[in-house]
């Protein structure tokens, strides 16, 4: 007898065509993937032994969504709205996703940023139901056995965090799994990867957050964080188990500290099908915004001078992606690196300082800069002025650090400066869009990490694009899975950036918009998946899709057919009995 009450009936593309009920009756109502609530038809109720278990009049999915939207609106704050949507997912995953799809712009702010940061902080007090896997030193040696519990779900994507670098709020211990939950809901919304194929995983190696260590209600492993060899062994043990159980699944590393993010990404580039969204996804979406800016300015990347203010995982990830794109435009590595400046809390990153390894590539030789005589010359304003910066990117988490003199200096360097204050949440943004437009007299091109309302300046409305990784990672994941890529390459993210940028319409460009609206997420994700899949095939790392017998035969049109066919939409699937 199967250990689960349901299985899958697949179509030709590897998509779930129907759910197979191993058991009938009330069990189908208690599983969130098989439950349809009041939407079970009268015929289904009879066939599935649910007759009498529900009120006699069925309610359509559309009516269920409308009722749920009313209930969400009645909640007092976004934390309560998050709890409602997650509880609905735990009861009826299809309905929850149909609700989110009905207004993706509105609900994305509840299931992910900015609300998810508060959810991470309050995880132990608002806990309702366990989701995903929590590995900790007490069970990591049994990681393979634990993962095998989920084999029946045909896991295709896992989002994995060690909870240390959560958004702009740092170490949140066990609460970091809420980030994984949110990201996977966006995988479903954007890429159409069915929720039962998604797995959130927390690597709970402890916490150095003193409030959590002192909290008697904290649900995580209440010890200081593992470090050094103990930490490395823990991650290695997980990686071995994951590869053994889900060799074809995508592993997305999420919200690791900057010290560990690069080391782990680099360690498993070839051993797992994996990438780090904070590094590579951030780099790709930022490049997408800049590529749109290049079309508006009618200029090329290789003619720009870039400054990344904030040399953490996201900042250096952006610098890496810019370098990859500049190499593709024909620059040598030396020429590309020369056009990219990075700043950290001590100012300009230079080679005469003791540096973390991940910062070394973009460190500048002080003697090569005629204007640099001492560390005092490495402040933000000095670098903008003396290096002639034309693209300014903020990932520092230092609110309002792009001051009026800095913005005006950018405007003096180029007719259309590109200024991207990307730090989250809103109070950490490096500059407000209204100030940017005022100080550049409306000439700047800008996108932000947090959502902002349109800005009015001199009788004109300036929409503010949000530079959100959600436009990148779902499509990258789907492109990797459908192409059968055995590794995730930097070129995939360059392809993704170009695909996202191409989705900005000519009319939007005239308004200064650098990225597409979030309402087009599903369409953007489709094009990203196509671009990534074609890149994988062209570079000979894409083979037969691991989750389907469908042959794409290295043909872009066949690949497009596979991508379209594999995507799940939040609609109720047929449930057939195993008889």
> What confidence tens digit (pLDDT) does each residue in 503-539 have?
999 999 999 999 999 999 999 999 999 999 999 999 9
Q: Do 384 and 338 touch, CB atoms closer than 8 A?
A: no
280-464 placed in CATH 3.40.50.720 = yes
| pLDDT at residue 167, as a whole number | 74
Alpha-carbon gap, residue 275 to 289, rounded angstroms: 21
Strand duo 455-457 + 460-462: pairing: antiparallel
| pLDDT at residue 451, as a whole number | 87
* Positions of the chain with pLDDT lower than 70, given as ranges: 1-3, 579
DSSP state of 366: G
62-256 placed in CATH 3.40.50.10380 = yes
Domains 62-256 and 280-464 in one fold: yes
Strand duo 340-344 + 306-309: pairing: parallel
| pLDDT at residue 247, as a whole number | 95
| pLDDT at residue 166, as a whole number | 85
| pLDDT at residue 3, as a whole number | 63
Strand duo 250-254 + 273-276: pairing: parallel
DSSP state of 92: -
| Contacts of 200 by beta carbon, 8 Å cutoff, 6+ apart | 131, 132, 133, 158, 159, 177, 180, 181, 184
| pLDDT at residue 144, as a whole number | 98
Each domain of the chain, given as residue ranges in start order, spans: 62-256, 280-464, 471-486+494-566
* Number of Cβ atoms within 10 Å of the Cβ of 338: 16
| pLDDT at residue 579, as a whole number | 61
Q: Two tokens at 537?
A: 């095939």
* Three-state secondary-structure class, residue 528: helix
Q: Two tokens at 382?
A: 């000095």
| Contacts of 445 by beta carbon, 8 Å cutoff, 6+ apart | 293, 296, 297, 416, 417, 418, 419, 512, 514
Q: Which of 186, 185, 181 is nearest to 200 (CA)?
A: 181
Instruction: Give the residue carrying structure tokens 């993010």.
Output: 261
Residues that are catalytic: 112, 183
Q: Two tokens at 567?
A: 């995507």
Alpha-carbon distance values, 452 to 448, 462, 467, 500, 518 (Å): 8, 11, 11, 20, 13
Q: Two tokens at 423?
A: 């730090």
| pLDDT at residue 2, as a whole number | 43
Give the length of the chain: 579
Q: Do 346 and 311 touch, CB atoms closer than 8 A?
A: no
Question: Edge-to-edge strand order for the sheet containing 465-466?
Answer: 347-348, 340-344, 306-309, 391-394, 418-421, 445-448, 465-466
Alpha-carbon gap, residue 552 to 288, rounded angstroms: 27
pTM for this predicted structure: 0.96
| pLDDT at residue 552, as a whole number | 80
Give the containing element (helix H, strand E) for 352. none
Q: Do 419 and 402 touch, CB atoms closer than 8 A?
A: yes
């Amino acid at each position: 007898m199967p250990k689960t009450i349901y299985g899958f009936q697949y179509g030709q593309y590897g998509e779930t065509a129907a759910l197979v009920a191993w058991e009938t009756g009330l069990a189908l109502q208690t599983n969130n993937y098989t439950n349809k609530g009041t939407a079970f038809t009268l015929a289904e109720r009879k066939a599935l032994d649910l007759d009498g278990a529900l009120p006699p009049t069925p309610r359509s999915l559309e009516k269920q969504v409308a009722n749920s939207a009313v209930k969400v609106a009645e909640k007092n704050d976004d934390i309560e709205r998050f709890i409602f949507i997650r509880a609905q997912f735990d009861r009826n995953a299809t309905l929850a996703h149909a609700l989110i799809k009905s207004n993706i712009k509105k609900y994305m702010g509840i299931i992910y940023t900015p609300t998810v940061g508060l959810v991470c902080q309050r995880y132990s007090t608002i806990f309702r139901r366990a989701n995903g896997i929590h590995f900790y030193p007490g069970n990591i040696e049994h990681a393979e056995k634990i993962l095998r519990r989920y084999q029946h779900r045909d896991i295709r994507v896992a989002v994995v965090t060690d909870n240390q670098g959560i958004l702009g709020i740092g170490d949140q211990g066990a609460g970091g799994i809420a980030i994984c939950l949110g990201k996977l809901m966006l995988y479903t919304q954007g890429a159409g990867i069915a929720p039962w194929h998604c797995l959130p995983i927390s690597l709970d190696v402890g916490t150095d957050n003193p409030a959590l260590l002192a909290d008697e209600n904290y649900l995580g492993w209440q010890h200081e964080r593992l470090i050094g060899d103990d930490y490395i062994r823990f991650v290695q043990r997980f990686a071995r188990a994951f590869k053994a159980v889900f060799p074809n699944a995508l592993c997305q590393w999420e919200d690791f500290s900057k010290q560990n993010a690069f080391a782990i990404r680099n360690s498993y580039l070839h051993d797992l099908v994996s990438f780090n969204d904070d590094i590579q996804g951030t780099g790709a979406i930022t490049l997408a915004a800049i590529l749109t800016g290049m079309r508006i300015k009618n200029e090329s990347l290789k003619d720009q001078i870039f400054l990344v203010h904030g040399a953490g995982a996201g900042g250096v990830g952006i610098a890496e992606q810019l370098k990859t794109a500049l190499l593709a435009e024909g620059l040598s590595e030396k020429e590309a690196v020369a056009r990219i400046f990075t700043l950290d809390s001590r100012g300009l990153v230079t080679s005469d300082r003791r540096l973390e390894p991940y910062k070394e590539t973009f460190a500048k030789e002080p003697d090569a800069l005629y204007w640099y005589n001492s560390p005092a010359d490495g402040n933000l304003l000095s670098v903008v002025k003396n290096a002639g910066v034309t693209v300014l990117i903020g990932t520092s988490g230092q609110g309002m650090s792009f001051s009026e003199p800095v913005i005006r200096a950018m405007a003096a360097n180029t007719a259309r400066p590109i200024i991207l204050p990307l730090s989250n949440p809103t109070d950490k943004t490096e500059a407000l869009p209204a100030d940017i437009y005022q100080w550049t007299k409306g000439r700047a091109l800008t996108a932000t990490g947090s959502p902002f309302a349109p800005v009015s300046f001199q009788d004109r409305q300036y929409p503010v694009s949000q530079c959100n990784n959600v436009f990148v990672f779902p499509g990258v994941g789907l492109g990797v899975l459908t192409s059968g890529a055995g590794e995730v390459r930097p070129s995939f993210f360059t392809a993704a950036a170009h695909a996202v940028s191409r989705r900005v319409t000519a009319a939007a460009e005239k308004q200064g918009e650098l990225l597409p609206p979030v309402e087009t997420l599903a369409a953007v994700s489709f094009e990203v998946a196509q671009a990534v899949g074609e890149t994988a095939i062209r570079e000979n790392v894409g083979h037969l899709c691991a989750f389907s017998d469908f042959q794409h035969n290295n043909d872009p049109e066949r690949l497009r057919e596979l991508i379209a066919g594999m995507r799940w939409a939040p609609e109720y699937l047929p449930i057939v009995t195993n008889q």
